[in-house]
Amino acid sequence: MKDRAVPIRSSSRSIGETAEPKKRRESGLRVLFRNPLVFMGSFFLALTALAALAAPWIAPFPPHFMDINARLTPPGAGHWLGTDHLGRDVLSRMIYGARTTLGVSAAVVGLAAWVGIPLGLISGYFRRADEVIMRLTDLFMAFPPLIGGLAIMAFLGSGVGNVILALFLVAVPRVARIARGETLVLREATFVKAALAMRAGLGRIIFRHILPNALSPLIVYLTLLFAGTIMAEAGLSFLGIGAPADVPSWGIVLSEGRLYMRNAWWLTVIPGAAIFLAVLSLNLLGDGIRDVGDPRQYGRAKRPGRLPARNRKG
Amino acid sequence: MLRYLVRRVLTLIPLTVMMAVIIFFLMRLLPGDPASHILGPEATLEEIQALRVRMGLDRPVSIQLLRWLGGLVTGDLGDSFYHNRPVGGMLLEHLVPTLKLTTFSLVLAVIIGTAAGLVSAVKQHSWIDRIIVVLSTSFMAVPGMWLGLLLVLFFGVTLRWLPVAGYETFRDGGFASLKYLVMPVLAMTTAEIGILTKMIRSRMLDVLHQDYVLTARSKGLPYGKVILKHAFKNTLISVVTLSGMMLAGLIGGAVIIENIFAIPGMGRLIVTSIARRDYLVVQSAILLITFVYLLLNLLVDVAYALLDPRVSYGSVKE
């Protein structure tokens, strides 16, 4: 299906390219950040990540510090985002929570890429390994993602390391799948055949010819995986089977605030909004990278109304 | 076609057995042994030993595994430690609410997502397209649990229009029982609506730019007819595939949503049983929900094969 669509689009793209040859020389990153949504998303993510890293210095209170006299204080001067039922400062808990939530997700995505991409490359390149690896991923992917994580957590018990392990096991086969799919297409590409004809070594073909070309879709997928992992981590914490209750995490703040929802809206609104914004930012970033990495998309955006529409008869 | 169906059903069996084995060994990951885990640190050795015998943990692992696999066939999955009743019956009771939630959410997502995606693609670059794109992108990022809580806060607590939580079977409550499902379904389906809208929009745009649509339009067919008969019909098939993908999200979402709204479904059963260390229930429930997921996926694939004449049924000739 893919190759059928390509020639049509690429021919129409060349028209756009000759019209504006200057654009192609711009660096991908620049093009990426010119999109205001991507820029805002990245800005939010960078800010959150920085806050998480600098938590001990910028958080106004320690995450477990209880001020019993100031229980359920609404957002205001003393506590910017209010306090919870134990008088803990919500802003500080959110900042420390970002450490857990983003840290766990980063670890999961990093590990999944580290293991999944090589697996996918091997699987896509060597027919014999493919059978074994793909049957294994089939097996793991037979579990719906959250259920798989839940099953592992149920038997491992709660703990930050266990969450990472559980979500890693959920993510790895999916990353491997994507890497394999890209490899399968690329190994048939003319430049790979040419490299083979020039007796390029296996390592050179895989790392110099296949991997760089597979990277763009993989990065897009990993970005979306990051978003999905944030949701999953928050979901597991919310259910009380993720990070242990004494580790602040966005999911935990949300689930603890649930009981006080009637009187303390901020305990529900704030952690949820943080998850929402993080996931939204990552999705926007992923879309942005896809658009930059896939030049076909430029062409499409630039020629509105190729379809003879009703109101464009002239 | 029949052969395809039989083959697909047959591959389900080894897959299920493998999953049962995986879940079985996962349970063995528990530090120590399940019996001492269930009873906690205060239990005496005699009590632990008695429970071990009751759960069959005193037998060799191979026998335990065979008993668990045999139980899947006969339906005798042992007794719940906490409720003291057969696991099989409990599972069936809890399956219905989850299936109800998932089905309603899927149907709603398909209706709204397809319609919105269609409109958005046909009116590309118009203000309505922009609104739909912004909404679907935001919807995709909404955590179901958060939306659920916000809905409770707004419609349940402030406006008092809908019950805050709870569940009624259709037999007890009739159509009034549906009021318990409104907020859970909305909370579960919003993200899926966003995803589906986006996907349908992009598929529809792809189709609209195909040559045969251009041809149909150039030979003078009416605009609406081209959109509906030539373009939309070809997009419709991907709705089926996407439904399969959405099932994974919906089943996962149901676990969380059931816990917010106290709906006695599989997700709630799994989570409460984890807390009660009722491991026999946990392992059977996880296996069952995964099996249902595979079964629904199979249905999707069959529907796909029925709808798309290009799909080969994997016959030997090819």
User: A309: which DSSP letter?
Assistant: -
B contacts of A145 (beta carbons < 8 Å): 248-249, 252
Report the Cα B213 to chain-centroid distance in Å.
35
**Nearest Cα residue in chain A from B276:** A154
Q: Range with the lowest mean pLDDT among A73-87, A218-232, A249-263, B119-133?
A: A73-87
Across A201-210, B41-50, B58-67, B218-227, which has the greatest mean pLDDT? Answer: A201-210
Per-residue pLDDT at A48 exceeds 60: yes
Q: Report CB contact under 8 Å: A240, B271.
A: yes
**Can you tell me whether residue A89 is helix, strand or coil?**
strand
Architecture of domain A36-294: Orthogonal Bundle (1.10)
**Measured between CB atoms, which of B150, B157, B270 is closest to A150?**
B270
Per-residue pLDDT at A173 exceeds 90: yes
Greater pLDDT, B236 or A25? B236
Per-residue pLDDT at B57 exceeds 80: no
B contacts of A1 (beta carbons < 8 Å): none
Joined tokens for residue B184: 């859970």
Length reported for chain A: 314
pLDDT of residue B188: 93
Per-residue pLDDT at A303 exceeds 60: no
**Measured between CB atoms, which of A145, A157, A268 is closest to B248?**
A145
Count of other CB atoms within 10 angstroms of residue A36: 9
* Angstrom distance (rounded) from CA B245 to CA B17: 23
pLDDT band at A179 (very low <50, low <70, confident <90, very high): very high
Joined tokens for residue B10: 């047959």
Distance from the A87 Cα atom to the nearest Cα atom in chain B, whole angstroms: 22
User: Burial of B174 by CB count in 10 Å (0-12 exposed, 13-18 middle, 19+ buried)?
Assistant: exposed
Mean pLDDT of A237-244: 88
> Which tens digit of pLDDT belongs to each residue from B137-191?
999 999 999 999 999 988 888 888 888 888 888 777 777 788 888 999 999 999 9
User: A261: which DSSP letter?
Assistant: T
Distance from the B143 Cα atom to the nearest Cα atom in chain A, whole angstroms: 6
Distance from the B174 Cα atom to the nearest Cα atom in chain A, whole angstroms: 30
User: Burial of A314 by CB count in 10 Å (0-12 exposed, 13-18 middle, 19+ buried)?
Assistant: exposed
Across A198-212, B45-59, B229-243, which has the greatest mean pLDDT? Answer: A198-212
Q: Report CB contact under 8 Å: A272, B256.
A: no
pLDDT of residue A12: 41
Q: Report CB contact under 8 Å: B19, A8.
A: no
B contacts of A233 (beta carbons < 8 Å): none
Distance from the B204 Cα atom to the nearest Cα atom in chain A, whole angstroms: 12
pTM for the model stands at 0.85
pLDDT of residue A112: 96
> Which tens digit of pLDDT belongs to each residue from B69-91?
888 888 777 778 777 788 888 89
Count of other CB atoms within 10 angstroms of residue A5: 13
**Nearest Cα residue in chain A from B274:** A154
Which phi and psi angles does A61 have, rounded to 5°?
Answer: -135, 160
Going B34 to B38 to B42 to B46, the CA torsion angle's sign is negative
> Which tens digit of pLDDT belongs to each residue from A131-140?
889 888 888 8
pLDDT of residue B150: 93
**Measured between CB atoms, which of A275, A304, A306 is closest to B146?**
A275
pLDDT of residue A14: 42
Indicate the average pLDDT of chain B: 85
Per-residue pLDDT at A27 exceeds 50: yes
> Which tens digit of pLDDT belongs to each residue from A108-151?
999 999 999 999 999 999 888 888 898 888 888 888 888 888 88
B contacts of A144 (beta carbons < 8 Å): 247-249, 251-252, 289-290, 293
Which of A2, A150, A223 is most worth mutating to test chain B (most B CB atoms within 10 A of its CB)?
Answer: A150
pLDDT of residue A284: 92
**Nearest Cα residue in chain B from A260:** B153
Close Cβ partners of B222 (under 8 Å, ≥ 6 residues apart): none
Q: Which amino acid is at B115?
A: A
pLDDT of residue B311: 64
What Å distances lie between residue B317 and B311, B313, B314, CA to CA? 14, 10, 8
Q: At what angle do helices B179-208 and B87-122 cross, to 10 degrees?
A: 40
Number of A/B CB contacts below 8 angstroms equals 149
* Angstrom distance (rounded) from CA A225 to CA A229: 6
Contact between residue B146 and residue B139 where contact means Cβ atoms under 8 Å apart: no
Per-residue pLDDT at B195 exceeds 50: yes
**Measured between CB atoms, which of B209, B252, B271 is closest to A306?**
B209
> Which tens digit of pLDDT belongs to each residue from B101-128?
999 999 999 999 999 999 999 888 899 9
pLDDT of residue B108: 95
pLDDT of residue B313: 56
Give the percent of chain A with pLDDT over 90.
35
**Can you tell me whether residue A66 is helix, strand or coil?**
coil
Q: Report CB contact under 8 Å: B217, A262.
A: no
**Measured between CB atoms, which of B137, B143, B211 is closest to A234?**
B143
**Measured between CB atoms, which of B142, B253, B290 is closest to A143?**
B290
Greater pLDDT, B308 or A196? A196
Per-residue pLDDT at A10 exceeds 80: no
What Å distances lie between residue B261 and A252, B85, B162, B168, CA to CA? 18, 25, 12, 12
A contacts of B289 (beta carbons < 8 Å): 144, 147
Close Cβ partners of A251 (under 8 Å, ≥ 6 residues apart): A101, A233, A234, A235, A236, A237, A238, A242, A243, A271, A275
* Angstrom distance (rounded) from CA B73 to CA B60: 21
pLDDT band at A164 (very low <50, low <70, confident <90, very high): very high
> Which tens digit of pLDDT belongs to each residue from B268-298?
999 998 888 888 888 899 999 999 888 888 8
- How big is the CA angle at A300 (ends A4 and B115), to the nearest 5 degrees? 85
pLDDT of residue B109: 94
ipTM over 0.90: no
* Angstrom distance (rounded) from CA B163 to CA A151: 31
Q: Which amino acid is at B207?
A: V
